[in-house]
């Protein structure tokens, strides 16, 4: 295996912060006496990702030293590559009574007790500095920046415990956590595995680059994100049905595993491409697909900035190999999927549609051409879009 990648979790070992039976009982016994914070859906998904090892080597929400070096240098304080801050922000009123060194009860948005934070530090941070460094802009119309400006001005740091790992409410069969995915890869004898991240429904261009990647490795880990996304993104249950259709009809079942990524989207473009790669490394992937405008939004990032950012790290430093793909399209001249690297076509001989145009077609009940989307997938999307429009 090349020295540029390996199968070890980021930082060397897989973190597990799910409470043991004894710890859980101790936390429950103290629950009514502890100060409590209600956390939003993104923080709850971050808590879960820390606990299952998806964010290894993090064991909790970031201390100031890690936060500052991640924001400025894309590294933890010890030099380990990491590109996105993972923090728990609160208001001044929430932070004021909390004592460093004590336990804090973490409740989800429904008021359910889901975790514990051992508070080691409270610190202020610059929202503008984080926005400009992580997202490349301080415009609040950027959905990631808006989250920063809407949240409190004080970060709480310290190790966390997840009270228990509940089955996913929508996709329990596809909840495959890092320890389990690693075992599945080993059981299948896969030495090299390529991960694919998406928040969008699968189309022919996705299928093309996934299968190109699959030609060179042992297995493909399809890992759609089902955490919090923008309100105008296609709902997770619709996207998952599309993947189920593809798994049933168009992929070799013995070489592909479909699982959910419970993280929330940041829409941080290049920075999030690194973050997504490291998360898939923790799930056991050795390779990661980076396509056009990975994790982008609007016009904030260049078409291939998310590929170029990998060059800012030394070869092998990330421990996972990016597989970089150009914008794919259907070529009417060669009558197959292609990119500019493989097709001699002129622009007018290429079939590729914007997401906005496809959504407009689907709302009208029109199906995109078969060269853009498998017809069964298009029908599923049209049904969902029309149902949404009817509400």
Among all residues, which ones are annotated catalytic? 199-200
* 267/112 Cα distance (integer angstroms): 28
| CA dihedral for 59, 65, 71, 75, sign (positive or negative) | negative
- DSSP-derived pairing of the beta strands 287-290 and 256-258: unpaired
> What is the rounded end-to-end Cα distance, in angstroms, of the chain?
52
- Contact at 8 Å (CB) between 296 and 306? yes
* 153/148 Cα distance (integer angstroms): 9
- DSSP-derived pairing of the beta strands 256-258 and 113-118: unpaired
Chain length of the chain = 391
Q: Nearest-CA neighbor of 377 among 198, 218, 212, 130?
A: 198
Query: What are phi and psi for residue 277, nearest 5 degrees?
Result: -65, -45
* Number of Cβ within a 10 Å radius of residue 1: 9
- Buried-exposed string 299-332: b where 16+ CB fall within 10 A, e elsewhere: ebbeebbbbebbeebeeeebbbbbbbbbebbbbe
Helix residue spans in the chain (DSSP H): 21-30, 41-52, 64-73, 92-95, 127-130, 143-150, 178-188, 204-214, 236-249, 270-282, 305-308, 355-363, 375-390
Structure tokens at 140: 């609040």
């Amino acid at each position: 295996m090349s020295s540029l990648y390996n199968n070890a979790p980021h930082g060397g070992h897989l973190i597990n912060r799910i409470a043991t039976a004894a710890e859980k009982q101790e936390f429950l016994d103290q629950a009514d006496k502890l100060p409590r914070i209600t956390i939003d859906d993104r923080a709850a998904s971050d808590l879960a990702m820390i606990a299952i090892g998806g964010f290894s080597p993090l064991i909790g929400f970031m201390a100031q030293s890690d936060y500052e070096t991640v924001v400025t240098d894309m590294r933890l304080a010890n030099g380990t590559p990491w590109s996105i801050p993972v923090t728990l922000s609160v208001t001044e009123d929430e932070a004021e009574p909390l004592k460093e060194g004590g336990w804090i009860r973490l409740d989800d948005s429904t008021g359910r007790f889901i975790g514990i934070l051992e508070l080691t530090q409270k610190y202020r941070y610059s929202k503008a500095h984080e926005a400009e460094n992580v997202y490349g802009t301080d415009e609040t119309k950027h959905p990631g920046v808006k989250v920063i400006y809407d949240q409190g001005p004080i970060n709480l740091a310290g190790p966390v415990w997840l009270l228990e790992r509940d089955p996913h409410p929508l996709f329990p069969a596809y909840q495959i956590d890092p320890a389990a995915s690693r075992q599945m890869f080993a059981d299948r004898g896969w030495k090299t595995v390529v991960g694919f991240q998406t928040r969008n429904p699968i189309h022919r261009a996705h299928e093309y680059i996934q299968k190109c990647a699959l030609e060179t490795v042992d297995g493909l880990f399809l890992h759609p994100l089902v955490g919090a996304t923008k309100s105008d993104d296609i709902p997770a249950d619709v996207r998952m049905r599309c993947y189920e259709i593809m798994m049933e009809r168009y992929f070799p079942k013995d070489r592909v595993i479909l699982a959910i990524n419970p993280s929330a989207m940041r829409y941080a473009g290049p920075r999030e491409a690194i973050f997504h790669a490291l998360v898939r490394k923790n799930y056991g992937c050795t390779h990661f697909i980076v396509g056009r405008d990975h994790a982008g939004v609007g016009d904030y990032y260049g078409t291939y900035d998310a590929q170029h950012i990998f060059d800012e790290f030394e070869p092998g430093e990330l421990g996972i190999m990016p597989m970089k793909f150009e914008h794919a399209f259907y070529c009417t001249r060669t009558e197959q999927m292609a990119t500019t690297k493989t097709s001699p076509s002129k622009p007018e001989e290429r079939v590729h549609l914007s997401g906005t145009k496809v959504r407009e077609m689907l709302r009208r009940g029109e199906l995109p051409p078969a060269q853009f989307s498998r017809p069964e997938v298009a029908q599923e999307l049209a049904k969902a879009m029309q149902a949404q429009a009817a509400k």
